[in-house]
Homo-oligomer: A and B are copies of this chain.
């Protein structure tokens, strides 16, 4: 067994600056990093089956066994050779036993060694494959975007409710320590009342064939924009109104977009695009402080925390960058399943639905519809 499971992510987190902890305590929400961010290696051991053998499945099969208590027992592709190649490329992912390669998704979801299924295929397949896993009695972690639209998501959640099985959108970024601290600052009132949130996620991905295909629900929004929209929702909830502008390709997929969101007490903007790379920054503005994520807001990254306003403002930094990132969501799934829960409090079904409703409205305004929707 080549993996070194002594890698404990939370041991590598730097200390949160004392004035930031003081501000949280003063707001009535004392914050303890150890309580707020449980160590992924300490979660119940969960045996994962991966449905799909693409890029994000590769990240999952690398991060999760190395940095959490979980392991990968099986992978499935419609092309058996592709599944086998994936298994061969991850000899240590099973922590002592080889990853089993399945040539059908049915075989994977019915594999008795699989405790939970991770769906890592293009968006257009998510709904049917999540239903397949649930029908086989398996809890399921579904890559973001969770489905092509809110209607598909409702079908999956209805099936999960009927089967009393766990389902979660794989919005891994919500479980990152930086995002946990940010939400604590926002929800405690330590930043005052929130007035503005922005997030943008632009990457140069026009060369990726899948993203140019409307039948695969390609485009920037469901791949990149979902991070921006979900970030806004994680802090402000569902908006009262949504408007959007953007550009479509000749194939009809969205190349980039700016989504403007209105709230009773705030405004927000969620932007995304696949024709150029931005700094992928985000900012949360409150009446008593703000938090800036100057780069890669959706990954383990650095937070600039400004407390107070005007000339009294004090600036602190918490650079919570570390290796991987998927280990936190995998541990959350393991803990929820062990506790008999059907949804995560951090990434609940209602949030996934609300994010899809915002994206549905943005797509309606942009004129993007996927075949067969």
Contact of A243 with B by CB under 8 A: yes
Interface residues of A, CB < 8 Å — how many?
Answer: 48
- Which residues on B sit within 8 Å (CB–CB) of A257? 267
Q: Is the CB–CB distance between A309 and B260 below 8 Å? A: no
Contact of A92 with B by CB under 8 A: no
Instruction: Mark contacts of A259-294 with chain B using CB atoms, 8 A cut-off: 1 yes-contact digit, 0 otherwise.
Output: 111101111110101011111010101110010101
- A277 partner, pick from B202, B267, B278, B309, beta carbons under 8 A: B309
Q: Is the CB–CB distance between A204 and B287 below 8 Å? A: yes
Known: A273-B195, A294-B294, A310-B204. A259 touches B256 (CB 8 A): no
Q: Is the CB–CB distance between A198 and B271 below 8 Å? A: yes
Main SS class of interface, A: strand
- Which residues on B sit within 8 Å (CB–CB) of A279? 283, 290, 292, 304, 306
A247 closest partner in B (C-beta): B267
Known: A198-B271, A204-B287, A310-B204. A260 touches B244 (CB 8 A): yes
- Extra contacts, 4 of them, besides A195-B202, A260-B269 (Cβ < 8 A), are A260-B260, A275-B287, A276-B287, A277-B309
18 A-B pairs whose Cβ atoms sit less than 8 Å apart in the complex: A193-B276, A195-B256, A195-B276, A196-B202, A202-B285, A204-B309, A243-B243, A245-B267, A260-B260, A267-B273, A269-B269, A269-B271, A273-B285, A277-B290, A278-B290, A279-B283, A281-B281, A292-B294
Chain A positions within 8 Å of B, measured between CB atoms, are 192-193, 195-196, 198, 200, 202, 204, 241-247, 256-262, 264-269, 271, 273, 275-279, 281, 283, 285-287, 290, 292, 294, 304, 306, 309-310, 313
Closest 8 CB pairs of A and B: A245-B262, A195-B276, A258-B260, A243-B243, A258-B267, A245-B260, A278-B285, A260-B260
